[in-house]
Chain A
Amino acid sequence: VGMLEFVLSCFRFASTTASLKTETEVDTRENDVVASDFTNRNPRNLEQLALARKERGWKTTWPKREFWHRLRLERTQHYVEAFVERCNGDVVVSASTREWAIKRHLYSPKGVTACKNLGRVMAQRCLEAGINFVNFKAVIPWERRCDSIQEFEKAMKEGGVVLQEPRRIYL
């Protein structure tokens, strides 16, 4: 649910101000009237306040959908791609060795070095987009020990992205 309903709880009173011009007083007199209900249309607001719902079903299948943002690493035969997506499948931030910007600096677009550098680029892009917490559980357990995925994880952590989402606040 993207809409946030807020209720006006109190007013914080102003300290004594210096004498203002009468023109600005007339202008700002109407500022005081504030609606008691406030709706914030920002779709990311609820999840950043840890109040949004996570999809709690899907417990008999793997991977589960209990996240706000999920980091998915796809290693194909020729390229390595990383996506940050929401539970409904919309891709938010993506980085891949298919992009010319990354491909030109790499010797091979697959392998451990590619994963490591992709992790650094992905961490930078995630922080620029305002995504600080990501869920990284959609990795197959026996593949998690691979050098490439471990280097990718290390690069993301060093880049500043936390690979664990905070627990939801039940209010």
Chain B
Amino acid sequence: MAAPLLSAALRGARAFGTAAALCRWAAPLGPMPNEQIDVGNLEALEKYRSFTRYFRQAEKEGRKARWWKTYRQYASPEPEPKTDIGLPHGKLLKERKERKKILKQNHQNAEMERAARLRTVLIPLDEVRAEWEKTSGPFHRQRLAEYYGIFRDLFQKGTFTPWVSLRVEYSQEDEHLVPVYYGNMVTPTEASSPPEVSYEADKGSLWTLLLTNPDGHLRETDAEYLHWLVTNIPGNDLKAGKEICHYLPPFPAMGTGYHRFVFLLFKQERPIDFSEDVRPTPCHSLKMRTFSTFDFYRKHEDSMTPAGLAFFQCQWDSSVTWVFHQLLNMREPVFEFVRPPVYHPPQVKFPRHQPLRYLDRYRDTKEPTYGIY
């Protein structure tokens, strides 16, 4: 009872109850929200008149950066600024006039207007996708790769915008194609044979294709497994390139969940000698397959830049058992999910405001204090 009276006496403003006994009112460290609104003259203010307008304004204000730190800013550290390691890209400003012309033609088209009014228009999704790959596709792919943590795990402080659109498709027995986009779900049975890779390439250029699994390493957390490495590919021809590491089908262990498999396409400026990275032709040793994209890229940084990106997700499947037993010649590991234990502060001899089950939290056995009666 003394606390509200105390705070009211100290501030002389409207009193409200506080748990803190000794608090001295101090001025806020920055501008408070809604300070600019003049409450004296309420009729002259512009009102919202609708919930939608208020809600949109509220969402916008919620996303603004404030001078006070939110819980997220305390809990997770600020991300460091990343360096761009990709290819440079020039903007084309001449397209604006052409685009305006096309839009004007659309507006004058009576058929389009009728179709829009009767709600029968269906956009050709293939054309939209092709145009998207050229215009905002690379930025969307970069954003998704950032979300999936690919840049954080493969290139620690570098990002790149994948300007070259990489098309990867796994072909099945019944001539059915399983494409790999950015975050697809592909089963190990579908991915058991090497895929068909296609991309736009000039005649004299050289490329490197790499398939890694940053999640699957059975011994260390930070290492990746190399599944496929083809270098010095002239133009589009994958078979003409030198296959340094032959294709190994994905093997995500049972119980470990979804693993990411990343296809990286690097553009080479000159033919590079990869003799240090050559693996023996039937390479089934996991130690030889242990790989780090960061070190690999660091070694050949001067002559190679990342240009294309495609990744898929993979879960355990019965073909993984076959890969473990026949190809890798080892027992198949099976994992189980274990949640990290709940944190309890150190036990106190005289706990304040705690129920009797406080003792249950620190007991070694599992006898509860409730449910006895």
Contact = CB atoms under 8 A, between A and B. Distances in A.
Interface of A: 1-2, 4-15, 17, 20, 24-25, 27-28, 30-35, 38-46, 48-49, 51, 74, 86, 88-94, 99-108, 111-113, 116-117, 120-121, 124-125, 128-131, 140, 143, 151, 171
Given A128-B183, A130-B184, A40 B140 contact: no
Contact of A91 (B143, B282, B288): B143
16 contacts: A4-B256, A8-B336, A12-B334, A28-B284, A28-B328, A30-B287, A33-B219, A39-B221, A44-B258, A45-B257, A102-B128, A106-B123, A108-B116, A125-B140, A140-B52, A143-B52
B333 A101 contact: no
B333 A128 contact: no
Contact of A124 (B125, B127, B184, B255): B125
Interface stretch (B8-16, B22-30, B106-114): B106-114
A34 B219 contact: yes
B330 interface: yes
A102 B129 CA distance: 9
Contact of B148 (A43, A89, A101, A113): A43
B321 interface: yes
Interface of B: 51-52, 55-56, 63, 72, 99, 102-103, 106-107, 109, 112-113, 115-116, 119, 121-125, 127-129, 131-132, 135-136, 140, 143-144, 147-149, 153, 181-185, 214-215, 218-221, 253-260, 280, 282-288, 312-313, 321, 324-326, 328-340
A63 B39 CA distance: 28
A2 B149 contact: yes
Contacts of B55: 140
B331 A13 contact: yes
